[in-house]
Structure 1
Amino acid sequence: MSKRWARTVALCKLLPLPGTVLMLVAAFGGLGPLWPAGLAVWVAGVAALFVRVRPTPREPVEVSPPVRGRWVAVNSPADRVPSHGVHAYGQTYAIDLVHHPDTEREWQGVRAAWPPARRPERFPGFGRPVFAPVDGVVVRVRRRSRDHWSRDSVPGVIYLLVEGIVRELFGPGRLLGNHIVIAMDGGGYAALAHLRRGSARVTAGQRVTAGEQIAECGNSGNSSEPHVHFQLMDAPHFLAALGMPFRFDRFEIDGGPEAGVPGGRRPFTVPSSAPTPETGADRRG
């Protein structure tokens, strides 16, 4: 499938909302001629939802892990593709990283019903440093979204599902919360999302080096608890981007060195002295 066709389908999937708005305006605003146009837009958008977009196979890009310490990989492309259930917004190979320093118990994504929500400061990942995974130039920084209470209880998850639908109506920025997008040397873009409000240390146009701290882990956007959402994509705009596969250059599992993509919700550790990948075309494999 060509990139142009894939991008067209991705954009068409956003049409049901404006189509519905046009039909409502026509019905209640006395603008009858708009109703057929709204219906056509709505039908095109719904039809696009049933078109399967498969990413073009390509070699993974080697990057440096954006975190340090002990973490758990959730919604990992090592477990399924697309990792988040959709190809939209360049998320095909996205991964969620949750800080879990407790070696005595397993990480649980959903707790019992009480308490229904907790402050983000109650989680060990909140405020942890986030590092640039690649060498490149920052092209977008969003830093003003608030860090909300958790959605990791049974009622919280239900609320998160409804909240996610509402957030999506306002575009991917509301879903991602505070985020940073980096144009990678050699091509492609790295995105890190759900960052802590006001923690971004970089601005658009600034050059960064892999391993340099650029922000902190937060709980902004469509997030159940503080974590780092990381993905690679082939365009800077989430609406038109296609996901790109990646591999971490180094991490450890049970003390043994690994490389690739962690998965299976198995804890992994990134040493504070983790090396950074080679720059330029060599990193692309």
Structure 2
Amino acid sequence: MVLFRCCLVVFFAQLVAGYFFDFSRWWGWIPLGLAVVLPIVLNRRPASPGTPPAVEVDPPVTGRWSALNSPADKVPSHGTRVYGQAYAIDITAEPEGRARPGFGWWPVVRRNRDFPAFGAPLLAVADATVVRAVDRNRDHLSRNSFPALLYLLVEGMFREMGGPGQVVGNHVVIDLGEGTYAMYAHLQRGSLAVREGDRVRAGQLLARCGNSGNSTEPHVHFQLMDNPDLDVAHGVPFSWRGVGVPGNGEVFSVDEPAMP
């Protein structure tokens, strides 16, 4: 993925330089071609030998939610294995009495507070240690329309050049032990309730759902992986206690944890 980002940077650098210097722009198609081929090769690679069975953890949210891009329907769930996403899942809030704005032509963008997931608390799925906690990225307007989706595709290329941190936006990674890490992505800016090095208990507040990074609307991106470094991580299957792995479009509910 580092080579992939370098290829994109070289392509755009040559594209810009071609307007100021006299040289053949055909050379720029070489790094662009590599940038296209590399993800295909990475996505076709088999899963790492000895892939463990699903790791059972608590759900990262409470309330009523629906699943998108679920590994229950296909693997890799997001169409790619890079950044440890092979078994990742997206979920968005679907509370009773409040409809989530649909995808369409208009309005082109919406404010984040129009979506019920925005600001929802995200909880530790197990006793763990925080190894990464970032919340400096802004929460942008939604991209849940056809015109905005086209913009997102172009925006995504530039985010890729910035590295995985620009793709996942604000995020938390916690070490569950035994070589398994959980990541929560697209967090709300300024919502972190923990810092790197903190020891957390299952059910403890980590942050809140936002719309940072490469995201169409406020939602939770959750995944387990075998390394906290997204450039080298492989995905690990998960199962949520009492829920399992919800399929695409499946609505599920999680009760509030009982107070001690």
TM range, smaller chain:
0.7 to 0.9
Counting aligned pairs with the same residue, the percent is 48
Q: Of 214, 231, 234, which residue of structure 1 is paired with 2:226? A: 234
CA shift, 1:50, in A, is 3.7
Which amino acid in the other structure matches residue 154 of structure 1? F
Q: Of 180, 185, 202, which residue of structure 2 is paired with 1:193? A: 185
Q: Of 17, 28, 38, which residue of structure 2 is paired with 1:48? A: 38
Superposed, which structure 2 residues align to 1:66-81 within 5 Å?
66-81=60-75
- The aligned length equals 252
Which amino acid in the other structure matches residue 146 of structure 1? R
Which residue in the other structure is 2:255 paired with?
271
- Gap change, CA 1:14 and 1:109, over 3 Å in 2: farther
Q: Of 52, 56, 63, which residue of structure 2 is paired with 1:58? A: 52
Does 2:165 align with 1:173?
yes
2: CA distance, partners of 1:274 / 1:64: 13
Q: Of 118, 121, 129, which residue of structure 1 is paired with 2:113? A: 121
CA shift, 1:198, in A, is 0.4
- Gap change, CA 1:81 and 1:20, over 3 Å in 2: same
RMSD: 2.8
Task: Give me the TM-score of the superposition, normalised by structure 2.
Answer: 0.86
CA shift, 1:24, in A, is 6.8
- Counterpart contact for 2:75–2:86, Cα < 8 Å: yes
Task: Give me the TM-score of the superposition, normalised by structure 1.
Answer: 0.79
- Gap change, CA 1:247 and 1:125, over 3 Å in 2: same
Which consecutive unaligned segments of at least 5 residues does structure 2 have?
Answer: none
- Counterpart contact for 1:250–1:274, Cα < 8 Å: no
CA shift, 1:185, in A, is 1.9
Q: Of 115, 123, 131, which residue of structure 2 is paired with 1:131? A: 123
- Gap change, CA 1:148 and 1:83, over 3 Å in 2: same
Which residue in the other structure is 1:261 paired with?
245
- Counterpart contact for 1:233–1:243, Cα < 8 Å: yes
1: CA distance, partners of 2:121 / 2:33: 45
Q: Of 122, 139, 160, which residue of structure 2 is paired with 1:147? A: 139
CA shift, 1:249, in A, is 1.2
Which residue in the other structure is 2:152 paired with?
160
